[in-house]
Structure 1
Amino acid sequence: MTLAITPPMCWNSWDCYGTTVTEEEVLANASFMAEHLLPYGWDTVVVDIQWYEPAARAGGYNDAAALELDAFGRQLPAVNRFPSAAGGVGFKNLADKVHGLGLKFGLHIMRGIPRQAVRDGLPVESTDFTADQIADQSSVCDWNTDNFGLDHRHPAAQAYYDSQLRLFAGWGVDFVKADDMLGPYFAAEIAAYQQAISRCGREMALSLSPGRALSLAHLEHLRHNAQMWRVSDDVWDVWEDVEAQFARMARWAPHQRAGAWADADMLPVGRIALRAERGGERLSRLTLDEQRTMMTLWCVSRSPLMLGCDLPSSPPETLPLLTNRHLLEVLNASRNNRELLREGDLVLWTAESTTSEDRFVAVFNTGTADLVRTLPLGDLGLTSGAAGSEASGVHSWRAREAWSGDDAVIGLKDGLPALDVKLPSHSAQLFRFSL
């Protein structure tokens, strides 16, 4: 069975709570998602980094943190933040509650093995070896001190990952975000992690991060080992982060396919940063037009969608961003998605529906001034549906714009049918063309 037939649609605790999310907050967002977003395809709740750190704080990581580990060096939820984990049951009770809402449950994990397990020489489950024997202490993350990498020349290195994934499977985990995997590219770690998933007895989607300077040279290895992978460092609520994803997704979009998705990263919409890593509590600093542009680019390039806001306290205008059925149809039921044109501040993308003869055209204004253009349909890859109609100035295409719901204005330019567009700064329009 192929996992992630369409791009995953998730909520993730990172943008809002950083390292400090609690069980109560996870369940509040899960309940909101089940009621308001599940009918639109949003179906996975992900607990991000350091759920095993009792003293986790906003704004950074504690060096040499004392982690919650079991006797085999595997991370356990911090009970002061996740009280239902008491008694060593891990995330089982929380995952059961999330599943009871009709949702999937996911978690974040760092590459490798906790330094604390290495220091204490904890045994590797089902082996005669200990953590200090399988760690590669020269392989460290440059932004977090929780783990060492694994030495995959040692047979018990794979056994440690196998043991960790068996534990996660027993909890009911459906989705794993494995971090510090891609920058640099740790091919042996990635393959070992996917092998452990395949042995754990439960289907789990694997997401890889962080994606800095990720090369297309790794495409086949990524497709073989993961369902999604980041193509950049973290995206936050500043226009420069969003704009930078245009070029990245133009490179990756032609290679998107079922079960293997290039990921443009988080969607910092709504109310974020209650206890996060970048600034204080706020509504997204992206304007509503910029948030629509971000959603349009992510969907037309078929990136996975990963919400970062506190859903219950986000403003009313957040929900329509996430429930636009025309936009989500492009995400879930389109093909040949590609950048068609980049000319100054104008960027055009196009895609074809997989359920009809319809075509999609996304028009972006990345500049600081209004953009007014008349775009010949032929330049958008749209030919007339009637023989001889172009010569007579008649066309068969009609179109509707997804964000406004308005019919498009299709006029003539040099005697040929053309689409009239007017876009404010940093805005987007998505047109669905039908014959």
Structure 2
Amino acid sequence: MARRPSPAPPLGWNSWDSYGTTVTEEEVLANARFLAEHLAPAGWDTVVVDIQWYEPTARAGGYNEAAPLLLDADGVQVPVPARFPSSAGGAGFAPLAAAVNDLGLKLGIHVMRGIPRRAVEADLPVPGTPYRTGEIADRASVCPWNSDNYGLDHAHPGAQAWLDLQIDRFVGWGVTFLKVDDMLAPYHADAVEALALAVSRAEGRHGREVTISLSPGTHLSLAHLEHLRRHADLWRVSDDLWDRWDDTEAQFARMARWAPHQGEQGWADADMLPLGRIGLRAERGEPRDSLLTTDERRTMLSLWNLARSPLFVGGDLPTSDAATVRDLGNTEVLDVGRHSAGGRELLREGDLVVWGASGAGPRAGVRWAGLFNTGASSLVARVPAASAGLADLAGLAGLAQGSLLDLWTGEEVALVTGAAETGGDAVVDVEIPPHGVRLLRTTTPR
């Protein structure tokens, strides 16, 4: 069994960076409406309700031990009506999914690996089988940071039956994006395979395509690449990322390792974008505008797109600053993630890191280069065009007298030719601000 091809990484909004475990239906819909109006034209199309939408005592800044999760008669999680009023009466997320779909968007939800401990302790019957929830759990397989679930014993036939039931319930509501946590650190191959099987069966029953996103990817090894491609659509390659420069800088090395393997068979995910207004009721920090500077934000967006990472913004969009929203909707930058191939690190010298990518499909013939300054002071970079992945610049159609376009500023960047240190080859000669980027395109897309 293999997942169907996905032509480009997904783009969307996720509630975690702003609301942690406490997001409400009203807040989800406010962000969905904003996304539909301001960012959907640029390709953003998914809205994800993150962890513990089934926890009536959820709070900002952590998890409650032995939380009284809200479950149905089969032990499957259901939304808390106090936070999601439309779920009352057993409706689940179906009304919310319908409202999001009416905006032209998709609804996603977060769920933990395994089965709720409360369902196991209640020893409920597993419908359609002679088994009970008390016998299908692996009580030794637990998440180190969240106590909601036990793992499933995938050697037991009742485990797949219960997982099929759970996933069918979610997909039946209209959920078409599943972010499944505690899957990759350590790597739970049996759980990954069982999830993919359950999703495939639910897709067949309901006639909906579902995206599988796996988290978190602490020290995730490329040794799992082929297994991931067969059973998931995207997978995290790091722990949670926050609005700190060190978190952003650390992704350069991770994505240099994963970017050469990006493609329609699946997407390595550099994690959510903590941009805009975040921390309203989140796990970390007080309410704030993202602590990343404008240059750091553009570095993040440039790297994520050159590496073809999925993009999920975590800021509360209606209260985020206009400059951040404009950057998120920069279609010239988003084209890099959507229509490129071969994105990779090309050069690393001191604080200078250079990435390049080639256009594909409707952007064939285009070349992009990201010149990054990871240092705390401005950097003047003189980079041979060939080293920036921009070889044969002078011969590319659409160049304005051998110039490049900076996709963030809209400015043309002239090439220096005849440089002695490069034997007369063309040189990109630019100043890069601290923690900043010059994201350059060689020619106008066709």
What TM-score results when the alignment is normalised by the length of structure 2?
A: 0.94
Q: Does 1:273 align with 2:282?
A: no
**What residue is the counterpart of 1:417 in the other structure?**
426
- Counting only pairs closer than 5 Å after superposition, residues 179-218 of structure 1 correspond to structure 2 as 179-200=181-202, 201=205, 202-218=208-224
Deviations 1:49-99 (A, max 9, x none): 000001100001010000110111100001110010000110000000000
Equivalent of 2:137 in 127, 131, 135: 135
Shift of 1:122: 1.3
**What residue is the counterpart of 1:383 in the other structure?**
391
| 5+ long unaligned stretches in structure 1 | none
Shift of 1:194: 0.4
**What residue is the counterpart of 2:372 in the other structure?**
364
Amino acid at match of 1:277: E
Q: Is contact 1:18-1:277 (8 Å) kept?
A: yes
Secondary structure, counterpart of 2:31 in structure 1: helix
Shift of 1:411: 1.2
Equivalent of 2:80 in 68, 78, 81: 78
Q: Is contact 1:385-1:396 (8 Å) kept?
A: no
Equivalent of 1:148 in 150, 153, 157: 150
Distance in 1, Cα, partners of 2:186 & 2:278: 29
Distance in 2, Cα, partners of 1:381 & 1:93: 49
Q: Is contact 1:397-1:434 (8 Å) kept?
A: no
Distance in 1, Cα, partners of 2:232 & 2:403: 40
Secondary structure, counterpart of 1:206 in structure 2: strand
Distance in 1, Cα, partners of 2:26 & 2:168: 26
Secondary structure, counterpart of 1:341 in structure 2: strand
Amino acid at match of 1:419: V
**What residue is the counterpart of 1:315 in the other structure?**
321
- Counting only pairs closer than 5 Å after superposition, residues 332-343 of structure 1 correspond to structure 2 as 332-343=338-349
Deviations 1:173-223 (A, max 9, x none): 110000000000000000000000000123210000000000000000000
Q: Percent identity?
A: 57
Distance in 2, Cα, partners of 1:386 & 1:22: 54
Residues 409-418 or 326-335, more deviating: 409-418
Distance in 1, Cα, partners of 2:391 & 2:180: 45
Q: Does 1:118 align with 2:120?
A: yes
Q: Is contact 2:196-2:232 (8 Å) kept?
A: yes
Amino acid at match of 2:191: E
**What residue is the counterpart of 1:174 in the other structure?**
176
Q: Does 1:408 align with 2:413?
A: yes
Q: Does 1:373 align with 2:375?
A: no
Equivalent of 2:440 in 427, 431, 434: 431
Residues 396, 357 of structure 1: alpha-carbon distance in 2 compared, 3 angstrom cutoff: farther
Residues 407, 155 of structure 1: alpha-carbon distance in 2 compared, 3 angstrom cutoff: same
Residues 377, 14 of structure 1: alpha-carbon distance in 2 compared, 3 angstrom cutoff: same
Shift of 1:296: 0.5
Distance in 2, Cα, partners of 1:395 & 1:324: 22
Shift of 1:397: 4.0
Deviations 1:391-417 (A, max 9, x none): xxx997431000000011211321332
Distance in 2, Cα, partners of 1:386 & 1:83: 61
Q: Is contact 2:141-2:150 (8 Å) kept?
A: yes
Amino acid at match of 2:432: L
Shift of 1:5: 1.9
Q: Is contact 2:214-2:236 (8 Å) kept?
A: yes
Q: Is contact 1:110-1:179 (8 Å) kept?
A: yes
| 5+ long unaligned stretches in structure 2 | none
Q: Is contact 1:17-1:275 (8 Å) kept?
A: yes
**What residue is the counterpart of 1:244 in the other structure?**
250
Secondary structure, counterpart of 1:321 in structure 2: helix
Shift of 1:383: 3.2
Deviations 1:317-355 (A, max 9, x none): 111110111111100000011000111000000000012
Amino acid at match of 2:211: A
Shift of 1:259: 4.0
Distance in 2, Cα, partners of 1:383 & 1:13: 42
**What residue is the counterpart of 1:13 in the other structure?**
15
Distance in 1, Cα, partners of 2:67 & 2:239: 24
Equivalent of 1:329 in 330, 335, 345: 335
Q: Is contact 1:269-1:291 (8 Å) kept?
A: yes
Distance in 1, Cα, partners of 2:307 & 2:278: 24
Residues 53, 217 of structure 1: alpha-carbon distance in 2 compared, 3 angstrom cutoff: same
What is the total number of aligned residue pairs between the two structures?
Answer: 430
Shift of 1:385: 6.2
Equivalent of 1:34 in 33, 36, 49: 36
**What residue is the counterpart of 1:284 in the other structure?**
290
After superposition, the CA RMSD in angstroms is 1.6
Residues 237, 386 of structure 1: alpha-carbon distance in 2 compared, 3 angstrom cutoff: closer
